[in-house]
Amino acid sequence: MKAALRVLNELEAEGCLGRYAIGGAMGAMFYAEPVTTYDLDIFAVLPQAGTGLLTLQPLYEALRLRGYEPGEYVMIEGIPVQFLPAYNPLLEEALEQARPESLEGVQTRILQMEHLIAIAIQTNRPKDHLRVRILLQEGNPDLALVSEICNRHGLTPPVSEKGEGLWTPPKT
């Protein structure tokens, strides 16, 4: 894990990867109990191609030069890493406000819990519903901030600012 984060830090320093932060289950695990997961989800600002489209190409080339073969995920130093571009305003804001952390001396960033909750509400899969519940129960989030983020991005907040009401996943 530490070696994989060092590689990500190098890629960011070289400009192949924009600002990055850990999200998904590994991000949520920072605030809540450990749950079994196998992917390290890395949210990142990607450089724009000449066409103005976001592209993974420079990142993938830099990874190949280091001996890591990109596929559905990239196995970096024993960890399957999935790169997820910040493709909407919520993810861009989450990345901007990600908190710097150190994993036993290796610097990294982790998305704020309140953003992880909002992203899970937006993504809206069954496992996201569970993640919202776990973070609300165990993470002690700033509910006013969760509401603020949700309102700003057109999402229904999971609970009131006073913690009233239980979050119910929207019907799909």
Among 50, 52, 71, 78, binds other proteins (CB under 8 A): 78
Q: How far is the CB of 4 from other proteins (least distance, A)?
A: 8
| Per CB under 8 A, 61 contacts other proteins | no
HEC sequence for 80-138: EEEEEECCCHHHHHHHHCCEEEEECCEEEEECCHHHHHHHHHHHCCHHHHHHHHHHHHH
* Site stretch for other proteins (CB under 8 A), options 56-64, 71-79, 84-92, 151-159: 71-79
**Sole window of 12-20, 23-31, 55-63, 156-164 interacting with other proteins (rule: CB under 8 A):** 23-31
Of 14, 38, 127, 165, which lies in the binding site for other proteins, with binding defined by CB under 8 A?
A: 38
Cβ atoms 7, 1 nearer than 8 A:
no
* Chain residues 98-127 in contact with other proteins, contact rule CB under 8 A: 101, 103-104
Q: Residue 83 to residues 29, 79, 135: CA-CA distances in angstroms? A: 18, 12, 23
Relative orientation angle of helices 24-31 and 113-123, to the nearest 10 degrees? 140
Which residues make up the interface to other proteins (CB under 8 A)? 1-3, 29-38, 66-67, 77-80, 101, 103-104, 137-139
